[in-house]
Chain A
Amino acid sequence: MNTDKTSPTDLGKPHAAPVDAPPAADAASTVVDPRLLVREQGLTGYIGEFKRKVRAGDLGALPVIVGLVIICIVFQSLNSNFLTAGNLSDISVAMVGTGMIAVGIVFVLLLGEIDLSVGSVSGVAGASFAVLSILHGVPEWLALLLAILSGTVAGAIHGFIFARIGVPAFAVTLAGLLFWNGFMLKILGENGTINTNGSGVFYNLSNYFFSDVAVAYGAAVVAVAVYFLSAFFDSRRREAAGVPSRPLNEIVLRTALLAVVAFAAAYMFNQYKGLPLAVVIFLAVLIVTDFVLRRTSYGRKIFALGGSVEASRRAGINIVLVRTSVFAISGTFAAVGGLFIASKISAANQGAGSGELLMNAIAAAVIGGTSLFGGRGRTWNALLGVLVIVSIQYGLALEGVAAAVQQMITGGVLLITVIIDAVTRKTQKSAGRA
């Protein structure tokens, strides 16, 4: 059992009001179970809770954050250019393409499934955009929209075949991987590479920076303020409803942590070209997808399916619809990622979407802390994971290490992560939190 043994006398202490347990007042009628999870209020309680979670294998983002710190220390000590604003800004922009794809992968992993087609689908999106806008003169906005839709449709097809006909997702999307890569080569045609314009919306996706320093700082201020206010009012509502709420000092602590990270990032971007548009879009996507997953009933259905398909069926969840839509979402984000990648090199070419892109996207989702076993994860995991992968790539590139070794090291990191995932799952089982 995952419980702290808190002796009943602890309940009597004035500062140790039970937070997660029913108020001791009804102890008159029902004897309070001494094993109930009781959290002390304030910072000590917070640290206690944290320790309890770590012991129970609920590591959350901890391993990957520790990993990122180690990566920074190692590469900075090898080459003092690693932690410069220029390099960090480059890493931030370069990670967006893979990161977007990884967001879609997180959705699919939450179902406990896998989508192997995302690399090829991302290639199709880049190629469709280039063909439509450069060869056929379709307006840029429309071409972008159609390119993204191509991913949605491809994903929906995979999802439908998986959900309706019952072909394993792994097999359907493997077929998709081959098919869509061929499709991309076909529409790119003879010469194989289409260069895109050096200006316009598409170009700006990966190349626009808000050079006004006020934008980055403004964004940081807004983020911190919105976070604090929403946490504060949520806690007030909970208090009013008489359910356990987060104490104010914990909210302040969390806000302060966010503020440090947000302003450090803003400062760093402003030392170079300013806040990159790509990063703004990526963060917006993370905020929206996190909201959808955790605050809407659609998101709840995805988690439910990842936990137990049978329970979901009996709860009246439309399984075919949810599964199909999740693969459509995965395809959509694959297309969006493909557009960012093509925008970065200002071209759609035959190599797009192949090679290590697929593996990096899946690795990013998993390294970030999304479980391969379904039902556990957040889209923020994609950000952390892709930061790890791209930082390693850039750090090794600074050292002049060959791509072959880069791949080996990324593979090693992924292996460590899945081992952590499997081990945490075991610990969680024994701690009753599988």
Chain B
Amino acid sequence: MVHVSATPVLALRGVSKRFGAVQALTDVELEVHAGEVVALVGDNGAGKSTLVKTIAGVHPIDDGVIEWEGKAVQIGKPHDAQSLGIATVYQDLALCDNIDVVGNLYLGRELKKRGVLDEVEMERRSRELLTTLSIRIPSVRIPIASLSGGQRQTVAIARSMLGEPKLVILDEPTAALGVEQTAQVLDLVERLRERGHAVVLISHNMADVKAVADKVAVLRLGRNNGVFDVKTTSQEEIISAITGATDNAVTRRAARNAEAQK
């Protein structure tokens, strides 16, 4: 088992976020330690992506405290999160279609030499990075628009790895991926944990969650609905936390199937 530090890298204390009439997050608590993969699960619209965006500085929080390595911090804009060491891969990927792979990987943190873009070095490092992550794309010099959905996903993930982040947040990274690419992304997540990074993984896929996560934090209607240890919790318990009841569509379906088999 990987060593888990005492102070969490990231801790959310009573975080709330409103969009006009929608209370997207209410008093949310979350702790992520170094070398730990926390899966964040919840139904559609539960507020997972919103939570990610508050941590990443896209939507500043209305209430509550964000603690980074034990100290309260303000994350008002994406740059604040980046400089703390938070890297985010969004559900909606946010890549520039007209810019090539290298340009997208380094967007916002271009390497420069005497004030001029150092394209050669960026290209060399991009190839290196893509090779170490065993990501295969036709060319690092074609626009993102030429890539398939899965290839874009891998570029977006590679982009998050560039700055040696302490915390990597992946919002449904495997949703658009094929079997092999999904396995690759999960491998990647494990490699991140081995290197001592903290990872927040959002997924609807319970198999993925069981495969790589250490802890599962459940969000329901914008509130916490339990944190579970993956090793000791059954899938049914997690699902009932997600849907909010032991009597729900999933359990009813399971019961029906069980009866049908008798």
Interface residues of A (CB under 8 A from B): 1-3, 20-22, 26, 30, 33, 35-37, 234, 237-238, 241-244, 295-297, 300, 303-304, 306-308, 310-317, 374-376, 428-429, 431-434
**16 A-B pairs whose Cβ atoms sit less than 8 Å apart in the complex:** A2-B142, A21-B139, A26-B131, A296-B116, A297-B112, A300-B99, A303-B98, A308-B96, A311-B93, A311-B104, A313-B78, A315-B107, A316-B78, A374-B98, A433-B142, A434-B98
Say yes or no: A307 contacts B82, CB within 8 Å: no
Q: Chain B interface residue count: which class?
A: 35 or more
Say yes or no: B99 contacts A307, CB within 8 Å: yes
Number of A-B contacts (CB under 8 A): 120
Say yes or no: B120 contacts A314, CB within 8 Å: no
Q: How far is the CB of A361 from chain B (nearest CB, A)?
A: 23
Q: How far is the CB of A108 from chain B (nearest CB, A)?
A: 16
Cβ of B123: which chain A residues have Cβ within 8 Å of it?
238, 241, 243
B 130-144 contacts with A by CB, 8 A: 131, 134, 136, 138-139, 141-143
Cβ of B117: which chain A residues have Cβ within 8 Å of it?
295-297, 300
Q: How far is the CB of A415 from chain B (nearest CB, A)?
A: 24
Interface residues of B (CB under 8 A from A): 56, 58, 77-79, 82, 88, 90, 92-99, 103-104, 107-110, 112, 115-117, 119-121, 123-124, 127, 131, 134, 136, 138-139, 141-143, 145-148
Cβ of B93: which chain A residues have Cβ within 8 Å of it?
311
Say yes or no: B108 contacts A317, CB within 8 Å: yes
Known: A33-B136, A433-B146. A307 touches B124 (CB 8 A): no
Cβ of B124: which chain A residues have Cβ within 8 Å of it?
241-243
Say yes or no: A432 contacts B147, CB within 8 Å: yes
Q: How far is the CB of A195 from chain B (nearest CB, A)?
A: 44
Say yes or no: B145 contacts A433, CB within 8 Å: yes
Known: A21-B138, A300-B117. A314 touches B145 (CB 8 A): no
The 8 closest A-B pairs by CB, nearest first: A315-B108, A307-B96, A375-B98, A20-B139, A311-B94, A307-B98, A316-B79, A432-B146
Say yes or no: A237 contacts B120, CB within 8 Å: yes
Q: How far is the CB of B143 from chain A (nearest CB, A)?
A: 6
Say yes or no: B141 contacts A30, CB within 8 Å: no
Cβ of B109: which chain A residues have Cβ within 8 Å of it?
315-316
Say yes or no: A22 contacts B131, CB within 8 Å: yes
Question: Whose C-beta in chain A lies nearest to the C-beta of B107?
Answer: A315
Say yes or no: A312 contacts B96, CB within 8 Å: yes
Q: How far is the CB of B137 from chain A (nearest CB, A)?
A: 8
Say yes or no: A313 contacts B107, CB within 8 Å: no
Cβ of A375: which chain B residues have Cβ within 8 Å of it?
96-99
Cβ of A429: which chain B residues have Cβ within 8 Å of it?
145
> Among A37, A297, A307, which residue has its beta carbon within 8 angstroms of that of B139?
A37
> Among A297, A315, A433, which residue has its beta carbon within 8 angstroms of that of B143?
A433
Question: Whose C-beta in chain A lies nearest to the C-beta of B96?
Answer: A307
Question: How far does the alpha carbon of A313 sit from the alpha carbon of B145 in the complex, in Å?
Answer: 19
Cβ of B58: which chain A residues have Cβ within 8 Å of it?
313-314
Question: How far does the alpha carbon of A315 sit from the alpha carbon of B93 in the complex, in Å?
Answer: 12
Question: Whose C-beta in chain A lies nearest to the C-beta of B123?
Answer: A243
Cβ of A21: which chain B residues have Cβ within 8 Å of it?
138-139
Known: A1-B148, A375-B98. 20 other contacts (CB 8 A): A36-B138, A243-B127, A295-B116, A295-B119, A297-B110, A297-B117, A300-B99, A303-B103, A304-B103, A307-B98, A311-B104, A312-B107, A313-B58, A314-B56, A316-B79, A317-B107, A375-B97, A433-B145, A434-B98, A434-B145
Q: How far is the CB of A278 from chain B (nearest CB, A)?
A: 28
Cβ of B77: which chain A residues have Cβ within 8 Å of it?
316
Say yes or no: B94 contacts A310, CB within 8 Å: yes
Say yes or no: A376 contacts B138, CB within 8 Å: no
Say yes or no: A311 contacts B98, CB within 8 Å: no
Question: How far does the alpha carbon of A312 sit from the alpha carbon of B78 in the complex, in Å?
Answer: 10
Question: How far does the alpha carbon of A22 sit from the alpha carbon of B88 in the complex, in Å?
Answer: 27
Question: How far does the alpha carbon of A327 sit from the alpha carbon of B90 in the complex, in Å?
Answer: 31
> Among B82, B121, B138, which residue has its beta carbon within 8 angstroms of that of A37?
B138
